[in-house]
Chain A
Amino acid sequence: MPVGDRDHSEGTSDAPLVLVEYGDYQCPYCGAAYPILKRVQKELGSSLRFVFRNFPITNSHPQAEWAAETAEAAAAQGKFWEMHDFLYENQRFMGDEAYFAKQETKLKLDATRIAREAAKGAYSSRIEEDYMSGIRSGVNGTPTFFINGVRYDGYPGFEPMVAALKAAQKAPSRKK
């Protein structure tokens, strides 16, 4: 599924590099990749657009679906990335809904609405769409990354990712 307006993204839409992450908020490997991605984004600046898509692995991560719903519910109030970041920065509190509600209030979000929407799975079709787009692109676990549409199978560390991105930037542009 090509990156488009439906996606949550950071950076400009005409950036030469597009990095897509399929992630699960409760996945420890995604949690470990989170600060690395922040550094990668800083390093590449305006040449990078970063996209996050949901890939909750619900049978091993019982809170993953709730977390994805919560981030999407925050997105509906215009604060996806704030919630996305907070979830990854507070993975150890996953499941403590009161803890996250406090942060939502701090972010001037309607926490009651988020809780209500997350409980009824208001964004489940969007999450499912993300998930299936991942399955059809060959995602088999989290995190899985795509650089300009090509799966990145290297180690999710700072140096190798920056190197792969810079190499992709030099390569003649293929599909985005």
Chain B
Amino acid sequence: MPKSAKKALPILKPGVKAPNFTLKTTPDQSVSLRDFLGRPVVLTFYPADWSPVCSDEMGLYAQVMPEFKKFEAEVLGVSVDGVWSHLSFSKDRKLNFPLLSDFEPKGAVSKLYGVYEEDNGESARALFVIDKKGLIRWSYLSPDGVNPGAEGILSALEKLR
């Protein structure tokens, strides 16, 4: 898809309460955002399991996990892939945080956060740092195909202190 065809997404901004959601993380387990109240949450939306940039991004977060843990932060990955794909992807890349399946109704949570790309039916690459009270404190929409790295997340987590 040419970049010019893309409309600006209505990504939720800092200061907004993070909408609650419940998504499957394995075939028989679900997680809700509100389960994490009391701890900062890093919510990372990405287009698809297995695509090269995502792999780097999720793999990077897995590797930076000890740093995130210094802030007692939980990391949650979200894409529209199904749980079986998530399980396999997570195992292959040795991910150490849950991947959530925004699968049915498709992209509902991504839409809630204003990061769903209607044209290709995938989540955009977007990051949210949510504080322990459930307030969005930082959000970032990454350009197509660019791994946003971890620096923005770490800076946002530092500012929560």
- Interface residues in chain A, defined as those with a beta carbon under 8 Å from any beta carbon in chain B: 57-60, 131-132, 135-141
CB nearest to B53 among chain A residues = A141
Rounded to whole angstroms, the CA-CA distance of A58 and B60 in the bound complex is: 9
| List of A residues within 8 angstroms of B56 by Cβ | 57, 60, 140-141
Q: How far is it, in angstroms, between the C-alpha of A57 and the C-alpha of B55 when the chains are bound?
A: 11
Q: Nearest Cβ in chain B — how far from A116, in angstroms?
A: 25
B57, B62, B93, B154: which contacts A140 (Cβ < 8 A)? Answer: B57
A140 vs B55: C-alpha distance in the bound complex, in angstroms? 11
Q: Interface SS of chain B: helix, strand, loop or mixed?
A: helix
Residues of B within 8 A of A141 (CB): 56, 60, 147
- Pick the contact of A59 from B63, B147, B149 — CB < 8 Å? B63
- Give complex CA distance A59, B154 in Å: 20
| CB pair B93 A60 closer than 8 Å | yes
Residues of the B chain whose Cβ atoms lie less than 8 Å from the Cβ of A59: 59, 62-63, 93-95
- B147 CB contacts on chain A under 8 angstroms: 140-141
Instruction: Report how far A13 CA is from B151 CA in the complex, Å.
Output: 28
Q: How far is the CA of A106 from the CA of B56 in the complex (A)?
A: 36
Q: Are B60 and A136 in contact (CB under 8 A)?
A: no
